[in-house]
Amino acid sequence: MMTTPCLKFFIAPERQIVQIEKPIADAVNLIAMETLQTEATGTFALGGDLTVNRLGYGAMRITGAGIWGEPKDRKEALKVLQRAIELGVNFIDTADSYGPEVSENLIAEALHPYPKDLVIATKGGFARSGPNKWEAVGRPEYLRQCVEMSLRRLKVERIDLYQLHRIDPKVPAEESLGALKDFQKAGKIRHIGLSEVSVEEIAQAGKTVPIISVQNQYNLSDRRHEKVLKYCEQHKLAFIPWFPVAAGKLAQPGGVLDQAAKQHHASVAQLSLAWLLYHSPVILPIPGTSSVKHVEENIAAAKVHLSPEEWKAIEGATEKRQG
């Protein structure tokens, strides 16, 4: 029988805290970088009242191998979070299952007290029993524990966006969402979102509680959730693509994306993120990395601009390959 991490990991193992100084940057330069990010990517109002720059940061990769345990380079992970904020990121996505607990703990250590405009989204509903092992658990009592522990780890009184990580096929969705709705009424959750769901599941969930975001796997080479994206556009929901960078044959050396990236002096990753920003105004890409160099590269994707004709040609080529 698999164990549930919110029960198993209430008491975190003792670890040596690496003390590092938070980056000291000139306030004017920080404002300039944030302005550049805003102008390049545009903004989106989560739930209509939380305005964020569309290019965010996904905090899954600041854990150990298999999204399990502490990161190989803990000091670098803390610097990545701080550097993302310096570059104008004000939307960070995490989950209690990343580590588990590790990602949320690192976010609090690196960034608390938080900038006033920072929006932190987290998720609950996955149990972990080892590296690369995930099991959906949507029992209300389990989710209640997960929310309380995330509040404690993140050192906040209210979670800006809490997402049901997966709908548990063994538990009616309205029961899982009902538990989150209770926290929303109590002022401990501001907004509620879903992850890996269909249009029908979003519509059904909306009968229990207002849904303001959807997080599904999506990128230029994997567009299976195009219908979900269109639904989000129609209902002004944020669409947060996980695994936002294209992969497979399309991204290989000599492939369609590689050739286009070279023409624009960009990487395949940058081109993938730039396409997401271009493709829909409700898309909030959250590329993740455990490297300061890569987080800088990812944020620089906001400066990559192709003409509508060039994007159309790339989309046509990718669709032809996929077909």
pLDDT in tens, 242-254: 999 877 777 788 8
User: What is 310-322 written as a DSSP string?
Assistant: HHHHHHHHHHHHH
Where do runs of H (alpha helix) occur along the chain? 5-8, 27-41, 74-86, 102-111, 140-154, 173-185, 199-205, 226-235, 256-263, 268-279, 292-299, 308-322
Are 77 and 290 in contact by the 8 Å Cβ rule? The answer is yes
Unique residue bearing structure tokens 């229990």: 208
DSSP class of 114? P
Would you state the pLDDT for residue 317? 83
C-alpha torsion 22→289→220→136, nearest 10: -110
Active-site residues, by number, are 98
In a domain, 70, yes or no: yes
In a domain, 256, yes or no: no
Query: What residues pair up with 163 in beta bridges, in sequence order?
Result: 123, 193
In a domain, 155, yes or no: yes
The residues near 242 (Cβ < 8 Å, ≥ 6 apart) are 58, 60, 195, 215, 216, 217, 218, 286
Q: Which candidate, 284, 272, 285, places its Cα nearest to that of 238? A: 284
Residues of the chain with pLDDT under 50: 1-31
User: What is 131-177 written as a DSSP string?
Assistant: TT--EE---HHHHHHHHHHHHHHHT-SSEEEEEESS--TTS-HHHHH
In a domain, 312, yes or no: no
In a domain, 112, yes or no: yes
Are 209 and 234 in contact by the 8 Å Cβ rule? The answer is no
Which pair of tokens denotes residue 43?
């903004």
Q: How far apart are CA 313 and CA 275, in angstroms?
A: 12
CATH number at residue 242: 3.20.20.100
Q: How far apart are CA 176 and CA 278, in angstroms?
A: 34
pTM of the complete model: 0.88
Q: How far apart are CA 83 and CA 230, in angstroms?
A: 33
In a domain, 255, yes or no: no
In a domain, 14, yes or no: no
* CA distance between the termini of the chain: 41
At 256, phi and psi to the nearest 5? -55, -50
In a domain, 275, yes or no: no
Domain containing 47 equals: 24-246+281-306
Would you state the pLDDT for residue 29? 47
Q: How far apart are CA 19 and CA 78, in angstroms?
A: 10
Q: How many domains does the chain have?
A: 1
Would you state the pLDDT for residue 43? 97
Which pair of tokens denotes residue 314?
């790339």
Q: How far apart are CA 61 and CA 291, in angstroms?
A: 9
* CA angle centred on 8, ends 7 and 9, rounded to 5°: 95
Would you state the pLDDT for residue 10? 33
Would you state the pLDDT for residue 20? 42
Q: How far apart are CA 277 and CA 178, in angstroms?
A: 33
